[in-house]
Amino acid sequence: MSTTTSPDSTARVLVIEDERALASMIVAYLSRAGYEATVARTGPEGIQAVHEHAPDVVILDLGLPGLDGIEVCRRIRTFTDCYIIVATARTDEIDTLIGLSVGADDYVTKPFSVRELVARVQTVLRRPRTGAHHEPEWVFGDLRVDSAGQQVHLGRTAVPLTPTERDLLITLASRPAMAFSRRQLIDEIWSDNWFGDEHLVDVHIAHLRKKLGDDPETARYIVTVRGVGYRMGPG
């Protein structure tokens, strides 16, 4: 494991990648952008590195030795809500959607531009974490969404969400009368220059609904608007 630190670093990025040349290139670009970049080369080493370094962002290759990246992602999500960007050479949709369904926030497919990858890191770190909306809290039946405190409760029970799930819910809750298209949600949460499969929104919404116990057929909180996208249900 190797580490490069910038004196002006404002965020820590862990690169879990077994291709040495690619990992070194990613670290070089991240360091140039002002981040503290750490490399792990196997699945188990990556999980340990997350424990040790508490990164703000993890760049996770799916084809890792020792432990598959999907399982690494699943285990990381049991103890941290850091941003996870999946990097994969497997371009079929099933692998991508599985990666996102276990808690990844974004993905890139190999071969990718390292500049684009660093731009993705910068985008997730620029997401407003507090005070992003005029209202500090919204209530929809038993669901309470606290924007300022970045917390979500069902009744008295806190609901653990990934950063992307939380951002999606806050975006929908902030404008409950508005039906958002997939593209509008991507522009709001990922950035207006993001490109890729827009169905990643559906994956995050499905995961969010599952955590909220919200059946899409009889939705109480997140309603599907046919031909458009999603909106928050009546409070």
Separation CA 145–CA 169 (nearest Å) = 8
Q: According to the model, what pLDDT value does residue 97 have?
A: 67
Q: According to the model, what pLDDT value does residue 210 have?
A: 92
| CATH 1.10.10.10 domain extents, the chain | 137-232
Cβ within 8 Å of residue 53, ≥6 positions away? 12, 14, 38
Q: According to the model, what pLDDT value does residue 234 have?
A: 65
When comparing pLDDT for 134 and 19, which is higher?
Answer: 19
Q: Among positive and negative, which fits the CA dihedral 109, 68, 166, 228?
A: positive
The pTM assigned to this predicted structure is: 0.71
| CATH 3.40.50.2300 domain extents, the chain | 2-125
Q: How many CA atoms lie within 13 A of 7 on its CB side?
A: 0
Separation CA 40–CA 220 (nearest Å) = 42
How many Å is the Cα radius of gyration of the chain?
Answer: 18
Q: What is the CATH number of domain 2-125?
A: 3.40.50.2300
When comparing pLDDT for 103 and 58, which is higher?
Answer: 58
Q: According to the model, what pLDDT value does residue 127 have?
A: 67
Q: What is the pLDDT of residues 70-89, one digit of tens each?
A: 999 999 998 998 999 998 87
Q: According to the model, what pLDDT value does residue 98 have?
A: 67
Whether residue 133 has pLDDT greater than 70: no
Q: What is the pLDDT of residues 137-193, one digit of tens each?
A: 888 989 988 876 678 999 889 998 888 898 899 999 988 888 999 999 998 888 777
Q: Which CATH architecture has domain 137-232?
A: Orthogonal Bundle (1.10)
